[in-house]
Amino acid sequence: MFQQNEPVAPHLFVVMGGTGDLMRRKLLPGLFFLSSKGFLEKSVILGVARDTDLNDEGFRTWAREALTEQRFSAEELGPWCDCCLHYQAVGGGSDGFESLAKRIEDIERAHGLPGNRTFYLALPPNAFPPTIRHLGEAGLNRSRGWTRIVVEKPFGRDLRSARELNQLVHEHFEESQVYRIDHYLGKETVQNLLVFRLANQIFESLWNRDRVDSVQITVAEDLGVGSRGRYYEQAGAIRDMVQNHLTQLLTLVAMEVPVVFEADAIRNEKVKVLQAITTPRLEDVVFGQYVRGALNGQGVAGYREEDHVAPGSRAETYAALRLEVDNWRWQGVPFYVRTAKRLARKSTEIAVIFRRPPVCFFQEHDPCDVESNVLRITLQPDEGFSLSFEMKAPGDPFSIRTQQLDFDFKEAYDALPEAYETLILDILQGDQTLFVRSDEVEASWNLFSPLLEEDMPISFYEAGTWGPREADHLLEREGRKWLNG
């Protein structure tokens, strides 16, 4: 996040799960982009996977195809794959890791690298513990230079497993070596939240219970679970999205101003927010699941009809929660968060809804129904900010209308960097600001684990709508409504 505009130290970037989907769709393009911008001088990538039939040459061909599929031309790629990519097959056992250690040394010697290493675990969650253990036992947790380990989400399935995983990580690595990744933190608008709040006095001075009525955080997806039914059956919306992405957004909105702009100072404030949130009461939570419906005029299947989903599945594809941050700044201000698959459209947004004026000044002319000012921070599909305000419509009769002040990132800047590109560069520059600390991940699980132990009722909603009615009641009972679209 505090990126310097200079190449990172020569290093070896090892991707465990080197032929997987994450590598293909996100890591390879991110690494290539960084390299083409001159950040990765003298850096080498080693893909590690189980496939014993693959060698360096086969891996380079696979990577070239993956990159061209993703919009890069052969001219743009040039000799990058041939010069910078290697492959090593490693099975599940520890002997594979000894060969890996030897291979790493050979590559470092051949390329004249000083021993700086990143191990990126782009693996299914059940492979995290054995991989971390094997890396440690093979002595790959330290080197002549620096060694960093990146762990993808989900970090644990609940509080207990997250603690166990943290313990295991700390048996082999120092916390300063660990980068728990949440790609939402790499999104440009999310980082901008900090600048927006802390570099503009007008907003920070309104950012509290005296001025804010409520906050809504929505991560709506129009896609269903697609080919990920097997994973989603084990996860559901709380594990997949709420415990990590939505919670991260909430902490950045609600945190106090850190004393200094530095990784641990910021992460300390985020943890304090989590500690101030009370575990939601069951009546403040709605779980839903999509049934057959229509999107853009096309019929789409219900969740239980998706591949690898049990016919009677109770996995929640929708979750809405009313949370309270019980501290001086936010006491009494509800934070409504929701996320779901197969809603009407993709939309990720934070809305800060301000209180209405205390006196109904225009009652003689119009019913006293002025709208609240709303600050909307949009992350997807079009990054930007918009502030609504009330104004008099020209002419008679006297009437008040809501208008918007908009800022659209795309109009102001060419292209925004991809989240993974930002985060990979941070890892290589040793900046942990946008990564989740061990106490933070545990504090977040601590909030949601009790819900996962409940047999929650599931409300069904038609695909292509804005979710179950019960979620509307969550706000209507307090005189509020969701801002949709």
Residues catalogued as catalytic = 245
With CB under 6 A as the contact rule, the residue among 158, 213, 221, 470 that binds ligand BG6 is: 221
For the chain, what is the largest distance between any 2 Cα atoms, rounded to a whole number of angstroms?
83
Nearer to ligand BG6, 275 or 380 (CB): 380
- State how far the alpha carbon of 424 is from the alpha carbons of 65, 252, 433, in Å: 22, 21, 12
Number of residues in the chain = 485
DSSP structure string for 169-226 = HHHHS-GGGEEE--GGGGSHHHHHHHHHHHS-HHHHTT-STTTEEEEEEEEE-S---G
| Site pattern 360..389 for ligand BG6 (x: CB under 6 A) | --------------------x---------
Which residues does 88 contact at the CB level (< 8 Å), separation at least 6? 46, 47, 48, 99, 100, 103
User: What is the tally of helices (H) and strands (E) in the chain?
Assistant: 17, 17
Nearer to ligand BG6, 348 or 449 (CB): 348
Nearer to ligand BG6, 236 or 468 (CB): 236
**Least distance CB 400 / ligand BG6 (angstroms):** 36
- Phi, then psi, of 411 in degrees rounded to 5: -75, -30
**Least distance CB 254 / ligand BG6 (angstroms):** 20
The residue behind tokens 């104004």 is 391
Q: Is 306 in the site for ligand BG6 (CB under 6 A)?
A: no
| Site pattern 31..70 for ligand BG6 (x: CB under 6 A) | ----------------------------------------
**Least distance CB 245 / ligand BG6 (angstroms):** 6
CA-closest candidate to residue 56, choices 110, 92, 137, 119: 110
End-to-end Cα spacing for the chain: 30
Report the residue closest to ligand BG6, judged by CB: 240
- Phi, then psi, of 95 in degrees rounded to 5: -60, -30
Positions 247 through 286 that interact with ligand BG6 (CB under 6 A): none
- Phi, then psi, of 142 in degrees rounded to 5: -145, 160
With CB under 6 A as the contact rule, the residue among 108, 158, 213, 240 that binds ligand BG6 is: 240
**Least distance CB 348 / ligand BG6 (angstroms):** 6
Q: What single-letter amino acid sits at 59?
A: F
Nearer to ligand BG6, 72 or 155 (CB): 155
Positions 323 through 362 that interact with ligand BG6 (CB under 6 A): 348
Nearer to ligand BG6, 103 or 187 (CB): 187
**Least distance CB 464 / ligand BG6 (angstroms):** 17
Site size toward ligand BG6 (CB under 6 A) is: 4
**Least distance CB 83 / ligand BG6 (angstroms):** 31
Nearer to ligand BG6, 87 or 184 (CB): 184
Q: How far is it, in rounded angstroms, from Cα 150 to Cα 16?
A: 10
Name the site residues for ligand BG6 (rule: CB under 6 A).
221, 240, 348, 380
